[in-house]
């Protein structure tokens, strides 16, 4: 049972959290202006890298806050967590 550090509550067991997929995928400013393909990319397509990945997580069983994390998808290690209003870190 991994620990995930909620930016507010600190480390809690992973079962208290839910996963929200790739971070920094904003809702398009004007969906109507997008082609079907562009829209499909927003709706269905997400990156799936091996290694560091910026993800969204939510502390569902705790403070219910969404936050972002850089996690290594190969080792599962959380390298850092950051709040939604923090800028996207540069992923080396």
Partner 1 sequence: MAELLRTHPLEGWSTRVERLPDTVRITVEPYVAMVDVRLGAVPAEASAALGVDLPTTPNTWVPAGTGRAVWFGPDEWLLTSTTEAPEELEARVRAAVVPLGGSATDVSAQRIGLRLTGARVRDVLAKGCSIDLHPRVFGRGSSAQTTLGQAGVVLLALSDAGDDHGVLVRSSLAGYLADWLLDAALEFTTTPAS
Partner 2 sequence: MTSTHRAPEGGRIDRATTVEFTFDGQTLTGHPGDTLASALLASGRHRVATSTKLGRPRGIAAAWAEDPGGLVQIEEPFPEPMLLATTVELHDGLAAHGLPGQGRLADVPDSARYDAVHHHADVLVVGAGPAGLAAALTAARAGARVALVDEQSEAGGSLLSGTDRLDGVPALRWVAAAVAELAGHPEVLHLQRTTAFGSYDDGFVLALERRTDHLGAAAPKHVSRQRVWRIRARSIVVATGAHERPVVFADNDRPGIMLAGAARTFLHRYGVLPGRQAVVFTTNDSAYDAALDLHRAGVRVQAVVDARPEGSPRRREECEHAGIRVLSGAVVTGTQGVERVTHALVAPFADGEVGAGSAIACDLLLVSGGWNPAVHLFSQTRGRLRYDEALGAFLPGEQLDGLAVTGSAAGVFDLAGCLADGQRVAGAALGALAIPPAGEDRLPTAPEPVVPAAPLVLWRVPDTSGAEGSTSFVDLQRDATVADIARAVGAGLRSIEHVKRYTTIGTAHDQGKTSGVLTSGITAELLGIPVQDTGTTTFRPPYTPVAFAALAGRDRGRLFDPERVTALHEWHVAAGAVFEDVGQWKRPRYYPQPGEDMEAAVLRECAAARTGVGVLDGSTLGKIDVQGPDAAVLLDLLYTNLMSSLKVGSVRYGVMCGVDGMVIDDGTVLRLAEDRFLVLTTTGGAAKILDWMEEWAQTEWPELRVHCTSVTEQWVTLPVVGPRSRDVVGTVFPQVDVSTEAFPFMTWRDTTLDGVPVRLARISFSGELAFEVYVNPWYAVAVWQRLLEAGRSYGITPYGTETMHVLRAEKGYPIIGQDTDGTVTPHDLGMAWAVSKKKPDFIGKRSFARPANSDPLRKQLVGLLPVDRQTVLPEGSQIVEFLADGRLPPPPVPMLGHVTSSYRSAELARPFALALVKGGRSRIGETVHVPVNGTLVPVEVTGPVLVDPEGARRDG
Note the residues at the interface with partner 2 (CB under 8 A). Answer: 1-3, 11, 20, 26-28, 30-32, 34, 36, 39, 42-44, 56, 58, 60, 64-66, 76, 84-85
42 binds, among Zn ion, partner 1, partner 2, none (CB under 5 to 8 A by kind): partner 2
Q: Cβ 3 to partner 2, closest distance in Å?
A: 4
Question: Got the DSSP string for 6-50?
Answer: ETTTEEEEGGG-EEEEESS-PPPS-GGGS-HHHHHHHHH-----S
């Amino acid at each position: 049972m991994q620990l995930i550090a909620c930016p507010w509550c600190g480390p809690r067991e992973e079962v208290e959290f839910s996963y929200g997929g790739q971070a920094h995928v904003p809702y398009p400013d004007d969906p109507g202006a997008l082609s079907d393909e562009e829209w499909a990319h927003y709706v269905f397509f997400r990156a799936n890298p091996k290694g560091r990945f910026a993800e969204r997580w939510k502390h569902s069983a705790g403070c219910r806050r969404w936050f972002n994390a850089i996690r290594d998808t190969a080792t599962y290690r959380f390298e850092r967590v950051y709040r939604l209003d923090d800028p996207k870190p540069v992923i080396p």
